[in-house]
Each structure stands twice: as structure tokens, then as C-alpha cells.
């Protein structure tokens, strides 16, 4: 296994901090990459409007904004549509803008922790190109991809953990594996601090990308939640690793 996917001191510290918490609530989803089995509830909307950024080597990429809309059908099903507007600046090559790929998904939670001891959901998603111009600029993938995740949530004493395991199928390629772990702590009914370890790798477990994020959610009003996260990680090969930094700032509207 490559060095990028091995536990680091930062990862172990981060896990120990949350395990030691008196009360914990791990919720994946925005502002984190790891998702969870939760759904908005019957006929409820959850709309996330966010600004994201990522820097690596000589390139800076922004989603300004990222629109992520979710709708609940019953208590176990969620419909999703997501699309970003991308601004990408490459040193020496200038700035390009355009629509990113559109993402459509259906989440189905088929086990609940209250009845079965663990919550489990599947969340198939299809990503399609929304702009050939963006693909030519390198802002989006031209080929359609299909993501098949399985999401878990389990309370372990004071800790509630979310785990995501997924495979992305790409036309004409062998796709990639995705792994995520998120844990969190409630400081009050309105404020939560959480963190995650998230990694992707090719089907052959090569060229991994690993990210460590810390973030928070603050319920500022009855129908709105402020979202924030920031993290760092490594991409590239063992011989040529590249550091990266990313952040997420958004508002979640509930109605």
C-alpha cells in the first residue's frame, strides 16, 4: 500500500480527539466529501449553495457557486441534482470558466440503526457532461461516469461514524475506488465540529489521492445552516507526490 493511504499522525490525532468527546454526531455530506445514509425527510428540501476552492502545484480551481439540491420522498429516499460553475487559473496559461459536469443521484436507505443496529444506504449517481466547451478547456470530463456508493452509519459509544465505500465506473477506463470516514462532535444543538479522511485510487490501487478535512456546521436560523471545511492532502505518484489544499464555504437551506 502506498504511503499516501497509510494512517498519519494527523489522522490518528484527529480520530482520538473525536473518540474522546462526550457527545458525538457524525454526519457526512456537505461540507465534506464523505456522504451519509441520511435523507431530508418526506417532501423536504435540502439545498446547498457553496463556494469551493482547490489549489495544487500551479493550478487553482474554484466552484463559484456549487449548487446541490436534494429532495426527500418518504423517509428513506432522496433525489439529488448538482452542478458547479468552474473558474480555473493555471500559471502561465490564464483563466478558463465554464459549467462543470451535472450530477444526478438517488439515495435509498434500506436499514435504520434504530431497528437494525446500523444505518446502510446505497446512492447511485450518474455524472454527465453539461458543456462540451468545458470539456475542451479541461474543466470537465466529456465521458459519462457512474458512481455506486454504499454508505454506513453506526454509533459506537460516544462516537457515531460514517463510512463510505464506492466505485466510479468510467466509460473507456477502469474507474476508481473511493473510501471515506467522517466523525463529529456536537458542542450544542446548533453547532457541530467534524472531520474526515477521504481517499480515491485507481482500480489497481495506484495514483492515490488522500485528503484530511476539518469543518463545522452552525444552525444560524430555523431553516439555514452555515457550512465550512478546509483540508490538505497529497496526490500524484510515490515518486512525485503533490500537495494540495481545499476549502468549502456554503449555506444549507432547509424547507
Residue 201's CATH number:
2.40.160.40
Give the tens place of pLDDT for each residue, 188-238.
889 998 999 999 988 776 677 889 999 999 999 999 999 999 999 876 555
How confident is the model at residue 235, as a pLDDT?
A: 66
* pTM of this structure: 0.85
Q: How confident is the model at residue 28 (pLDDT cuts 50, 70, 90)?
A: confident
Write down the mean pLDDT value for the chain. 86
From CA 155, how far away is CA 18, in angstroms rounded?
Answer: 13
As to burial, measured by CB atoms within 10 angstroms (0-12 exposed, 13-18 middle, 19+ buried), residue 169 is middle
What domain count does the chain have?
A: 1
Q: What is the pLDDT of residue 118?
A: 95
Which residue range is the domain that position 73 belongs to? Answer: 3-250
* Residue 18 belongs to some domain of the structure: yes
Residue 255 inside a domain? The answer is no
Q: What's the confidence (pLDDT) of residue 206? A: 66
pLDDT at residue 25 greater than cutoff 70? no
The confidence score (pLDDT) of residue 48 equals: 97
- Residues 210, 231 contacting (CB under 8 angstroms): no
51 domain-assigned: yes
Amino acid at each position: 500500500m502506498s504511503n499516501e493511504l497509510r494512517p498519519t499522525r494527523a489522522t490518528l490525532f484527529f480520530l482520538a480527539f473525536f473518540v474522546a468527546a462526550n457527545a458525538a454526531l457524525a454526519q457526512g455530506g456537505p461540507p465534506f466529501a464523505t456522504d451519509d445514509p441520511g435523507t431530508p425527510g418526506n417532501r423536504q428540501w435540502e439545498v446547498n449553495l457553496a463556494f469551493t476552492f482547490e489549489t495544487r502545484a500551479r493550478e487553482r480551481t474554484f466552484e463559484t457557486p456549487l449548487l446541490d439540491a436534494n429532495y426527500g420522498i418518504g423517509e428513506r429516499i432522496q433525489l439529488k441534482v448538482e452542478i458547479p460553475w468552474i473558474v480555473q487559473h493555471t500559471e502561465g496559461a490564464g483563466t478558463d470558466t465554464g459549467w462543470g459536469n451535472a450530477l444526478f443521484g438517488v439515495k435509498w436507505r434500506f436499514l435504520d440503526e434504530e431497528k437494525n443496529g446500523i444505518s446502510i444506504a446505497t446512492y447511485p449517481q450518474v455524472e454527465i457532461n453539461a458543456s462540451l466547451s468545458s470539456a475542451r478547456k479541461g474543466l470537465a470530463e466529456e465521458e459519462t461516469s457512474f458512481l455506486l456508493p454504499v454508505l454506513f452509519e453506526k454509533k459506537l459509544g460516544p462516537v457515531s461514524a460514517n463510512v463510505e465505500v464506492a466505485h466510479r465506473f468510467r466509460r473507456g477506463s477502469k474507474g476508481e475506488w473511493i473510501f471515506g470516514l467522517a466523525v463529529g462532535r456536537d458542542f450544542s444543538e446548533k453547532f457541530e465540529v467534524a472531520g474526515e479522511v477521504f481517499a480515491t485510487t485507481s482500480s489497481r490501487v495506484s495514483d492515490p489521492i488522500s485528503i484530511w478535512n476539518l469543518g463545522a456546521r452552525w444552525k444560524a436560523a430555523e431553516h439555514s445552516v452555515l457550512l465550512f471545511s478546509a483540508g490538505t492532502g497529497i496526490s500524484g505518484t510515490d515518486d512525485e507526490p503533490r500537495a494540495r489544499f481545499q476549502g468549502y464555504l456554503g449555506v444549507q437551506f432547509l424547507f
